[in-house]
């Protein structure tokens, strides 16, 4: 009998062990439990939200750097910059603020 056949024979015998001898309690792992990683399905919405927030911040920052005369030339008041940026982003994504 070859070594492989002997190993398979022993495995076959051990796999047919008496079920009464098997401990029903789950084995304890030596590895400590940690919180599960976020599911991949939740990452794309988070990444999208982060990108949109960063884009919004950058657009507001750029418009805020302009002086009041340039803002007037493009039809904006300084206090309306966040609303204008939100409108631009919503139009670009196909969403609307209307209920």
How does pLDDT run across 15-54, given as a tens digit for each residue?
555 555 555 666 665 666 666 666 667 778 888 889 999 9
Rounded Cα distance, 46 and 43, in Å:
5
Q: 94 falls in which pLDDT band (50, 70, 90)? A: low
Give every CB contact of residue 46 below 8 A, 6+ residues apart in sequence: 38
Q: Global pTM?
A: 0.51
What's residue 15's pLDDT?
55
Cβ burial 54-92 (10 Å sphere, 16+ → b, else e): eeeeebeeebeeeeeeebeeeebeeeebeebbeeeeeee
60-93: pLDDT as tens digits: 999 999 999 999 999 999 999 999 999 988 887 6
């Amino acid at each position: 009998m070859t070594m492989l056949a002997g190993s398979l024979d022993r495995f076959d015998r051990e796999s047919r062990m008496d079920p009464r001898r098997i401990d029903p309690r789950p084995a304890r792992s030596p590895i400590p439990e940690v919180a599960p990683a976020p599911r991949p399905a939740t990452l794309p919405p988070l990444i999208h939200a982060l990108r949109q927030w960063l884009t919004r911040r950058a657009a507001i920052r750029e418009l805020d750097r302009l002086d009041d005369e340039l803002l007037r030339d493009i039809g904006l008041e300084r206090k309306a910059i966040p609303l204008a940026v939100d409108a631009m982003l919503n139009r670009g994504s196909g969403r609307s603020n209307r209920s």
